[in-house]
Amino acid sequence: MKTFLFRSMVGLFFGGFLAVVLTYGVIFLGDQATLDSNLFVTNSLGAIFCGWLFTVTPLYFEIHSLKLPQQTALHFFTVIVIYFILAYGIGWIQPGVTNILIFLIIALVSYSIMWTAFYLYFKNESKKLNEDLQQIK
């Protein structure tokens, strides 16, 4: 529970920071003199929720009673479904079958690349740790 609360706070703050940085980008790089307040609040809350979602859902990988494929499937479907509902509801994904398919393809490719990168990183780290333990004996 302590880990969940800590990650929740980190995610909320990171999402808020990201929302501010993106807003600054729109203002300064997009020559946007004014902002629609409703749109700003909606997008900011969406970014904050995404920050929370993406920092809390990796807790699936800390449930040792589940095997890696189960952890991955739970994480993937939780992230994709919740993010899709949020992004579609806010308007980050425009209505239409083509847009939804593009989202799914980008999500699958991005998730696969990130999952593989993390897997290889942690596999390499565990190999280093095992080598260090062998030297202790």
- Retrieve residue 70's tokens: 């189960």
Given a cut of 90, is residue 45 above it in pLDDT?
A: yes
User: Residue 9: inside a domain, yes or no?
Assistant: yes
Q: What is the pTM of this model?
A: 0.81
- Whether residue 59 contacts residue 7, with contact meaning beta carbons closer than 8 Å, is answered with yes
Mean pLDDT across 118-136: 92
Structural domain count of the chain: 1
- Torsion from C-alpha of 65, 126, 10, 56, nearest 10 degrees: -30
**Single-letter code of the amino acid located at 71:** Q
Given a cut of 80, is residue 43 above it in pLDDT?
A: yes
pLDDT in tens, 100-122: 999 999 999 999 999 999 999 99
Q: Which residues of 54-82 are buried (b: 16+ CB within 10 A; e: fewer)?
A: ebbbeebeeeeeeeeeebbeebbeebeee
Domain range spanning residue 48? 1-66
Lowest pLDDT segment from 21-25, 32-36, 59-63, 94-98: 32-36
Given a cut of 70, is residue 137 above it in pLDDT?
A: no
User: Residue 135: inside a domain, yes or no?
Assistant: no
User: Residue 36: inside a domain, yes or no?
Assistant: yes
Q: Report how far apart, in Å, the C-alpha atoms of 38 and of each of 13, 28, 42, 70, 81 are.
A: 21, 19, 6, 39, 25
User: Residue 73: inside a domain, yes or no?
Assistant: no
Given a cut of 80, is residue 1 above it in pLDDT?
A: yes
